[in-house]
Structure 1
Amino acid sequence: MGDDYLESGRVRQKLRTREDLIAAARRLIQGGDTPTVEEAAEASGISRTTAYRYFRTQAELLAAAFPETAVRSLLPSPPPEDAVDRVHAVTSAIIDVIERTEMQQRAMLRLSLGDTPHELPLRKGRAIGWLEEALEPSRETMGAESLRQLAIAIRSVCGIEARVWLSDVAGLDSHDIRALQLWAAIALVERAAVEPPPGRSSF
């Protein structure tokens, strides 16, 4: 939806309409669906034409269902100085986000695995930035490339993809998933202190 449309005319009513669409999408997601704009419109009692003024695509609608899209940092205040402590805090926070929004995360994952490519804001490396910030104390000794590769490696063990496998295939409960993901994240940090992760050309 363009800013001009939202900011013109009856702003409060338009904001309520937008929130009604988002709320309807979240309810559908919690039921296991990956709602389209049309389905959210029907569930909220809003016309399709109106709904498309707010969300041009299904991807935009699903992204809006995530309040975490605007979060810039997951470090506590004040942040720990040690990289291991910082990674533990950020990884734990990432797991919290995924646990709290698991159905939305699964919906986004299903959409990203579909036949049609989608531009999904939550699948553009936001967690990588959070983890790079956590690893900042190691930047000077590790170097920028190795630090980013380590952030990617940590993301691979604590994201929704890993959670789906650990839950649906390995059969672990939430407590065990959290414990294993945190252990793996810290193990990667400790291993990187001995041997930096391989660069892209090594893959």
Structure 2
Amino acid sequence: MSKVSLKEGRVRQKLETRSQILEAAREIMKAKKKLSLEEVARQAGISRATIYRYFPNVDLLIIEASLDIHYVSPEELAEKVASKTIDEGFLYIQEYFNKLTLTHEPVFRQYLSAVLQESLASKKKLRGGRRIAALETLMATYEGEMDEETLENLKNISAILMVDAIMTGKDVCGLASDKISHTLRWGLEMILKGIQADMKESA
């Protein structure tokens, strides 16, 4: 998808630039103007070449900007789980993203299709990483409650049990939306129970 790696180099600056591009695209879409990379470049005050490094084609940008409208920021999600236990926090984040996916399923499918198509010609197969950003913000809240390796593994498996797993549940397993939500929550609950059991044994 993107020609820019969001995990290497000046990560924060790259994420800020990406957010700036998406904000400009959303403003254009809200004004019901025709969206083009050139128009987004003017709106964002960024060169077209820079935008192209993040979004190689306008279709991908339109889909991503459409999705971005519906997201709550990682900081807002962290505030919502501040009073919850670590298990409750991870389950809350999973439920939030999975409900969002199921509510806007056609847009998510368009996005995944565009990303997969673009990945054939690009060495960078990274997506926006909203799940990871939210989970990492959440992890900061519970720092010290689990060892670093376990927390990292929990972050990754939590992200796996979201949008991609939903599509597998529907397309491969033939599950209805409510059954998918229940199954994915059950999976994460079992993992969390196993972690807590291991921690008690090690204490």
Partner of 1:185: 188
Superposed displacement of residue 186, structure 1: 1.7
Superposed displacement of residue 172, structure 1: 0.7
State the distance in 2 between where 1:172 and 1:65 align: 26
Check 1:110–1:16 CA distance in 2 against 1; reply closer, same or farther (3 A cut). Answer: closer
State the distance in 2 between where 1:16 and 1:97 align: 22
Q: Is 2:135 the counterpart of 1:131? A: yes
Contact 1:128–1:155 at 8 Å: present in 2 too? yes
Aligned residue runs from structure 1 range 48-63, under 5 A? 51-55=36-40, 57-58=57-58, 59-63=60-64
State the distance in 1 between where 2:147 and 2:153 align: 10
Aligned residue runs from structure 1 range 24-39, under 5 A? none
State the distance in 1 between where 2:31 and 2:193 align: 46
Q: Give the structure, 1 or 2, with the largest relative contact order (CA under 8 Å, sep 6 or more).
A: 2
State the distance in 2 between where 1:137 and 1:75 align: 8
Partner of 2:13: none
Q: Which runs of 5+ in 1 are unaligned?
A: 8-13, 22-43, 197-203
**What is the number of equivalent residue pairs in this alignment?**
160
Matching residue's letter, 1:19? K
Contact 1:167–1:177 at 8 Å: present in 2 too? yes
Superposed displacement of residue 86, structure 1: 1.4
Q: Which runs of 5+ in 2 are unaligned?
A: 1-16, 41-51
Partner of 2:157: 153
**RMSD value, Cα:** 3.5
Contact 2:97–2:163 at 8 Å: present in 1 too? no
State the distance in 1 between where 2:94 and 2:143 align: 18
State the distance in 2 between where 1:170 and 1:178 align: 13
State the distance in 2 between where 1:193 and 1:154 align: 16
Superposition TM-score, scaled by structure 2 size = 0.63
Contact 1:128–1:151 at 8 Å: present in 2 too? yes
Contact 1:95–1:178 at 8 Å: present in 2 too? yes
Q: Rg bigger for which structure?
A: 1
Superposition TM-score, scaled by structure 1 size = 0.63
Range that drifts further, 109-118 or 90-99: 109-118
Q: Is 2:3 the counterpart of 1:18? A: no
Check 1:167–1:148 CA distance in 2 against 1; reply closer, same or farther (3 A cut). Answer: same
Contact 2:77–2:134 at 8 Å: present in 1 too? yes
State the distance in 2 between where 1:91 and 1:68 align: 16
State the distance in 1 between where 2:149 and 2:193 align: 17
Check 1:51–1:183 CA distance in 2 against 1; reply closer, same or farther (3 A cut). Answer: same
- Alignment match of 2:102 (pick from 99, 104, 107): 99
Range that drifts further, 85-94 or 187-196: 187-196
